[in-house]
C-alpha cells in the first residue's frame, strides 16, 4: 500500500505540472504548435536543425513551424504521457499485490480516464482546437488531479473525524458550484474571452454590457479551418467572461457560508485553508484583468483553482466521514 501511496503522490505532483503546462500551452497559443499527434511535424520530439525544419514545413505547409510554440506543446505531451505511465504502474501494483477492491477500482478508472484524456489531446489537434474538445481536455486535467488525490487519501488515514455537524448538502453544493466555475473559466480561456472585459469591476465601462449568451454558449459551434485566436464576436465573448465573473460571486457567497460553518467546529484549520486559497484565487482573477493577462499570473490562477478543488474535495470527504460515523 505504501508503494501506491508514493506513486499517487507523484501523480498529484505531475498532474499539477500538466495543468500548468496545459495552461501555458493555451495562453501562448501553442495548441497547434505541433499539427500532428503524437509526434511533432512527424518527429518524435520537435525539429531543431535547418534540414528538419525544412522537412517539417514541407509536410505541413499550412502550419508554419514556430519553435516557441512547438516546445510548450511537446513538453506538455511528454509530462501527460508520464502521468499515463504512473497510472499503468498503479494498476499493475494494485492487482499484483491484490490490494482492496476500492484501490483496484480507483486505479483502473484513473488509467481509463487518462486514456480518454489522451484521446481528447489527439482530437484537440486533429479537430483544430474545436472549443468543446479543448474545454473537455483542459477540464479533464482537473478531474485527473482529483482522482490521484482521492487515491492518495484512500491509502492513508489522513481523513480525521471532526465534530462539524451536518454539512453534506452544503459541501456538495460548494463542490458542484466550484466545478461549474472551473468549467466556465476553461470555456473563457478556450474562446479567447479572458480579456473581453478589460476593466474591473465594470465590463467595458458598464455593469451591464451587451452580451450574446446563445452564441457564447453554443457548445456545438462550428470553427472554420481552425479556432486559433477564436472566431466569436465581441458580444459572445463578453457573455462568456461576464458569466465567469457572476458565477465567481455566487461561488464566493457559498464558500463564505461553508467556511463560517467549518470555522465554528473542530475543522477550523480546514476553514482557514479554504479561506486563504479562495482569497488568493479571487485576487489572481482580478489581477488577470487589471494587468492584461500576464502569463505567470494566468498560470497561477489555474493552479490555485486546482488547489481549491482539492481542498473542497477534502472538506467533502471529511463531512461524509463525519456523517458516516454519526
52 and 67 together in one domain? yes
8 and 139 together in one domain? yes
Quote the pLDDT of residue 79: 95
- Read off φ and ψ for residue 314, nearest 5 degrees: -60, -45
147 and 288 together in one domain? no
Place of cell 457559498: 254
87 and 168 together in one domain? no
| Measured distance CA(94)–CA(124) in Å, rounded | 32
For the chain, which residues score pLDDT lower than 50? none
Quote the pLDDT of residue 320: 83
Q: At what angle do helices 168-190 and 295-325 cross, to 10 degrees?
A: 160
Residue 55 has a CB neighbour count (10 Å cut-off) of 15
At which of 158, 188, 208 does a domain end? 158
CB of 320 closer than 8 Å to CB of 168 = yes
Place of cell 465554528: 264
At which of 135, 158, 181 does a domain end? 158
143 and 171 together in one domain? no
Q: Which residues are catalytic?
A: 73
Domain that holds residue 45: 1-158
Query: Of the candidates 293, 259, 295, which has an alpha carbon nearest to the alpha carbon of residue 276?
Result: 259
Quote the pLDDT of residue 155: 87
145 and 197 together in one domain? no
15 and 120 together in one domain? yes
Quote the pLDDT of residue 219: 86
CB of 268 closer than 8 Å to CB of 188 = no
25 and 120 together in one domain? yes
Quote the pLDDT of residue 227: 67
Quote the pLDDT of residue 202: 95
Burial classification of residue 104, based on how many CB atoms lie within 10 Å of its CB (0-12 exposed, 13-18 middle, 19 or more buried): middle
| Measured distance CA(209)–CA(197) in Å, rounded | 9
What is the number of residues in the chain? Answer: 326
| Measured distance CA(60)–CA(16) in Å, rounded | 32
225 and 325 together in one domain? yes
At which of 108, 143, 158 does a domain end? 158
Supply the DSSP string of 256-315, one letter for each residue. HHHHHHHHTSTTHHHHHHHHHHHHHHHHHHHHHHHTT--HHHHHHHHHHHHHHHHHHHHH
Task: Output the CA torsion 227→197→236→30 (10° steps).
Answer: 10
Supply the DSSP string of 217-261, one letter for each residue. T-TT---TT--TT----HHHHHHHHHHHHHHHHHHHHHHHHHHHH
153 and 216 together in one domain? no
| Measured distance CA(182)–CA(140) in Å, rounded | 11
Quote the pLDDT of residue 325: 54
Count of structural domains within the chain: 2
118 and 247 together in one domain? no
Q: What does the pLDDT look like over 263-285, one tens digit per residue? A: 988 788 899 999 999 999 999 99
196 and 213 together in one domain? yes
Amino acid at each position: 500500500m505504501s508503494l501506491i501511496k508514493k506513486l499517487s503522490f507523484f501523480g498529484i505532483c505531475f498532474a499539477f505540472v500538466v495543468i500548468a503546462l496545459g495552461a501555458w500551452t493555451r495562453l501562448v497559443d501553442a495548441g497547434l504548435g505541433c499539427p500532428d499527434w503524437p509526434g511533432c511535424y512527424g518527429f518524435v520530439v520537435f525539429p531543431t536543425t535547418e534540414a528538419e525544419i525544412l522537412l517539417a514545413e514541407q509536410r505541413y505547409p499550412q502550419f508554419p513551424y514556430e519553435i516557441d510554440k512547438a516546445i510548450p506543446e511537446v513538453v506538455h505531451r511528454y509530462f501527460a504521457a508520464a502521468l499515463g505511465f504512473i497510472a499503468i504502474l498503479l494498476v499493475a501494483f494494485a492487482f499484483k499485490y491484490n490490494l482492496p477492491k476500492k484501490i483496484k477500482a480507483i486505479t483502473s478508472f484513473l488509467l481509463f480516464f487518462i486514456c480518454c484524456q489522451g484521446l481528447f489531446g489527439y482530437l484537440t489537434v486533429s479537430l483544430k482546437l474545436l472549443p468543446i474538445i479543448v474545454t473537455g481536455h483542459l477540464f479533464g486535467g482537473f478531474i485527473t488531479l482529483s482522482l490521484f488525490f482521492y487515491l492518495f487519501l484512500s491509502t492513508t488515514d489522513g481523513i480525521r473525524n471532526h465534530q462539524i455537524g451536518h454539512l453534506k448538502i452544503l459541501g456538495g453544493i460548494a463542490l458542484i458550484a466550484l466545478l461549474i466555475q472551473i468549467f466556465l473559466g476553461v470555456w473563457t480561456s478556450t474562446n479567447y474571452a479572458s480579456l473581453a472585459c478589460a476593466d474591473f469591476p465594470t465590463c467595458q465601462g458598464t455593469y451591464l454590457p451587451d452580451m450574446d449568451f446563445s452564441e457564447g454558449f453554443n457548445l456545438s459551434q462550428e470553427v472554420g479551418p481552425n479556432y486559433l485566436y477564436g472566431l466569436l464576436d465581441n458580444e459572445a465573448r463578453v457573455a462568456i467572461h461576464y458569466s465567469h465573473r457572476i458565477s465567481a460571486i455566487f461561488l464566493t457567497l457559498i464558500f463564505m457560508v461553508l467556511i463560517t460553518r467549518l470555522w465554528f467546529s473542530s475543522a477550523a484549520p480546514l476553514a482557514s485553508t479554504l479561506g486563504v486559497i479562495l482569497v488568493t484565487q479571487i485576487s489572481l482573477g482580478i489581477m488577470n484583468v487589471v494587468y492584461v493577462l500576464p502569463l505567470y499570473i494566468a498560470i497561477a490562477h489555474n493552479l490555485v483553482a486546482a488547489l481549491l478543488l482539492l481542498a473542497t474535495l477534502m472538506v467533502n470527504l471529511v463531512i461524509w466521514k463525519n456523517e458516516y460515523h454519526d
